[in-house]
Structure 1
């Protein structure tokens, strides 16, 4: 069940291959199963556009964002500002994240936590559950034909899965695999360019195909006015860079969530 990462292009392929090297040493480890955390999907079903606020220190596209941030402190401020879920980057090389960040956030807040990482091996699903996350990120551009099997592993662990797409072909794979939460990324992860028309376009295609699950828009949002294009179509938006960089995290979230 290891995806064919040699075929994944650009920066995404580079990160994914490094991640596989990182996690191979975890194969033989036994993972505890803590009590079930708050439901990610239920948080996204609340009325209005749910905000998933991301704990993020750096990225390949933006460089250093907020290297010194304390994950738990930021997460508490996000929730105080109105975030309904927290996304925590745990990839260490390109995003300066860690599993410790996720554990600290899980202890600090009572809202669902999404583990934002590059899932390339089944062991990461069990690890995500053991860390106390509510949901795991599955990127179709990475997993390809294995997406359905990884979805099933997540279900077996009691995790929600945010299945990420950024093209029509990837959307078709996500739909055929039975994804119930689809994230549309406005960022092309091969060349890191942003096109904010991607989310509305693929969101409409998903709904036209009969998809009745949850839709999450990702990347490129920094002002509340930009969210108007998502209303009535998307259930949630994931925002990272602009919030983490603000250094006034509660106010930044409140400004994005006010109607």
Structure 2
């Protein structure tokens, strides 16, 4: 059984508990800028900064980290979006973290979780998310299409995550506009930046879709590499969480996008 399988089994339990409890989520009508528009307009590689305490592959990264303090630091350093991990068993995150961050920053806010049911999307929006993540490797085609259209109907941006070219084709089949390449294989948790380059080589940039590189971004060399491949943004967690200076670390990643003069 892979790590992803274990996570999805736990997620199924959580969904069943939520449905059994028949919880009504309070409406949240907060309006945030569109992440898609933000990334399309920017001339520099943008940074989606992640609040991340732990992961299955690295264990503890920043135990006890304060999401509000971290989010403020990211916002002040120029992050385009803040990603908040809401999975608890494997990443030590929570929807309380997401709601707390939503109170203190006005920029796009991504709920980073393993979405398999509409009720999770309702919970994310209620907590203040303006973007949700759908992981192609975790969903069959029918569920992917259903969750993508449902989230869009709520006015949410949807970041569809792929790992390879086959998954890119599945993302395109639901007309995903924001597509992230996870350089980490969720089955083995090995990281390889060539995944971004391989997907970028087949990416339909002429269709006004946005490519984001996720995982394994540690410094400006990595940022330059994925920007040259065509990425508009990077999603970065561990290196920023471990940094002594969030501002300098984040700004070092804001390199010129492909086709933009230095």
Instruction: Name the TM-score, length of structure 2 as normaliser.
Output: 0.91
Is the deviation greater in 42-51 or in 158-167?
Answer: 42-51
Partner of 1:42: 37
On the 8 A contact 1:40/1:114 being kept in 2, the answer is no
- Following superposition, the deviation at residue 211 of structure 1 comes to 4.0
Query: How far apart, in 2, do the equivalents of 1:43 and 1:212 lie?
Result: 13
| Matching of residues 18-167 of structure 1 within 5 Å | 18-27=10-19, 28-38=22-32, 39-47=34-42, 48-145=44-141, 146-167=143-164
Taking only aligned residues, the RMSD between alpha carbons, in angstroms, comes to: 1.5
Say whether the 8 Å CA contact 2:227–2:255 is kept in structure 1: no
Any gaps of 5 or more consecutive residues in structure 1? 1-8
Shift, 1:251, TM fit: 2.9
Find the aligned partners of 1:11 and 1:94 in 2 and give their Cα distance.
Answer: 10
Contact 2:223 2:254 in 1 (8 A): no
| Residue range with higher mean Cα deviation, 245-254 or 53-62 | 245-254
Residues 247-256 or 43-52, more deviating: 247-256
Asked if the contact 1:184/1:218 (under 8 Å) is kept, the reply is yes
Q: Is the partner of 1:187 in helix, strand or coil? A: coil
Secondary structure, in 3 states, of the residue corresponding to 1:242? helix
How does the TM-score come out when normalised to structure 1?
Answer: 0.92
Consecutive unaligned residues of structure 2, counting only runs of 5 or more, are: 257-262
Please state if 1:203 is matched with 2:197: no
Secondary structure at the residue paired with 2:57? Answer: coil
SS at match of 1:52: strand
Name the count of aligned residue pairs.
Answer: 250
